[in-house]
Each structure stands twice: as structure tokens, then as C-alpha cells.
């Protein structure tokens, strides 16, 4: 039963999110690490994003890198 849980889509998504939060831990504040925020803002680009995944993708994107 546990193996089915670990192989499930929801568990994999949450595990990937936890890994991403761990990687970004040095750049985010404590509230963001806990996942309490519903929006993430890049102060450099003045862009607001809906999820930590979008925020991470933005940081790696060309528009952010040029600024």
C-alpha cells in the first residue's frame, strides 16, 4: 500500500516541490519555505508569480537573467 502511495502522482508532485524548496532555501524567506505564500514576487523584474515552480522557472529565464 505504501509503495502505491509513493508511486502516485500527488506524492511525486509534492516530493518535487519539497526538493525545489530545498534548493531555493537560501533565496526565500521562512514564510515562502513553508509554502504559506500564494504569490511570489521578483523584485528585480517587478513580476508576481502564482507558484514556487513559476518563480523558479522565472529565475532561470532569459528575461530575468538579462536584468
Give the model's pLDDT for residue 26: 58
Q: How far apart (Å, rounded) are the C-alpha atoms in residues 4 and 67?
A: 44
pLDDT digits (tens, 9 = 90+) for 3-56: 888 888 888 888 887 777 777 665 655 555 555 557 788 889 999 988 878 888
Give the model's pLDDT for residue 41: 86
Q: Number of folded domains in the chain?
A: 1
| Domain that includes residue 41, residue range | 13-64
Quick check: is 22 in a domain?
A: yes
Give the model's pLDDT for residue 28: 58
Quick check: is 5 in a domain?
A: no
Quick check: is 18 in a domain?
A: yes
Kindly tell me the burial class for residue 21, based on how many C-beta atoms sit within 10 Å of its own C-beta (0-12, 13-18, 19 or more).
middle
Amino acid at each position: 500500500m505504501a509503495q502505491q502511495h509513493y508511486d502516485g502522482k500527488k506524492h511525486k508532485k509534492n516530493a518535487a516541490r519539497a526538493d525545489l524548496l530545498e534548493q531555493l532555501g537560501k533565496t526565500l524567506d521562512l514564510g515562502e519555505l513553508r509554502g504559506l505564500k500564494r504569490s511570489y514576487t521578483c523584485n528585480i523584474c517587478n513580476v508576481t508569480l502564482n507558484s514556487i515552480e513559476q518563480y523558479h522557472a522565472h529565475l532561470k529565464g532569459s528575461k530575468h537573467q538579462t536584468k
